[in-house]
Amino acid sequence: MNFKDFSYYGYKFIEKIITFFPKEFMINFLGNLGYILDNKRKNVICVNLNLAFPEKSKEEKRKIIKKIYKNFARNLIEFIENKKISKEKLLEKIEFVGFENIPKQAIYVTAHFGNWEITSLSFGAKFGKIDIVYRKLDNPKLNEEVVKSRSRFNVGVIEKKGAMKELVKSIKKGHNIGLLVDQNTAENEGIETVFFNRKVLQSPSAAILSKKFNLPIVMSFAIPKGNKWQVIVKDIFYTDDIQKSVDRQSKVFEEMIKEYPDEYYWFHKKFKHFYEEEYDKKCKV
């Protein structure tokens, strides 16, 4: 069995067993299991936290890492739960904050933060058509599951490869757009900005579309509130200058992560382009 098959059947196994145990038990079990076994990604998280939070103690970082794994387990379980949820039941789990005066059409920007999956799903269920960009998964079966779950309640999905052309079509149809632009990107696709006082590359796609079509960028995030989620609008602005827009997006990401450091998806090499050698080192906290 190769890794692609293992990832799919592992997902299907989790999908089955979570029905037999209390949710909180499964979150703790899967989170602790990931923390113990996933040394490769744990090293990436450790490097990221050292670069972002040099002032935090090893004990503080260790607690954050453990919580990151539990939050990822929580998101996975909620993703499975939400596969068959009705629009009405979904909206019962959501409190919208700051959406009173949202524009008719906008570029919605978020990060791999909190429950980013529920951000677009709840928006589509409440406010109407939104098209989001996704990266096609290597496993076709798993990719089919994910696309099917995401493309409900007025949410359309656009594959990342060649996405800009499709996004332009969506905007011309009057649709809202949802983008995740927080991860490190290739040099020819990114623009330099600052994140936690470190140089990083970030996608300018939201800024480019915002400026081209004179649409506001709405920065929105899903924050856990007990057994529910609070989907908030953190910032709304138009783009006159691409660089300033990207800088502002990065600053908002940083503000959210400072407040909730364990809610960010630190598994990816956020600082890779300028600090690649750090990820080759053994990192311990």
Asked if 177 and 109 touch (Cβ cutoff 8 Å), the reply is: no
Where does 53-201 have alpha helices with state H?
A: 58-82, 87-92, 116-127, 140-150, 163-172
Q: Match 């908030």 to its residue by tokens.
A: 232
pLDDT of residue 4: 58
Three-class secondary structure of residue 140 per DSSP: helix
Residue-wise pLDDT for 100-156, tens only, equals 989 999 999 999 999 999 999 999 999 999 999 988 888 888 888 888 888 889 999
Residue-wise pLDDT for 128-140, tens only, equals 999 999 888 888 8
pLDDT of residue 2: 54
Count of CB atoms within 10 A of residue 154's CB?
A: 19
pLDDT of residue 146: 85
Instruction: Give the chain's residues under pLDDT 70.
Output: 1-5
pLDDT of residue 214: 97
- The whole-angstrom separation of Cα 46 and Cα 190 is 24
Domain edges within the chain? 3-280
Count of CB atoms within 10 A of residue 1's CB?
A: 7
Q: Match 């602005």 to its residue by tokens.
A: 237
pLDDT of residue 187: 87
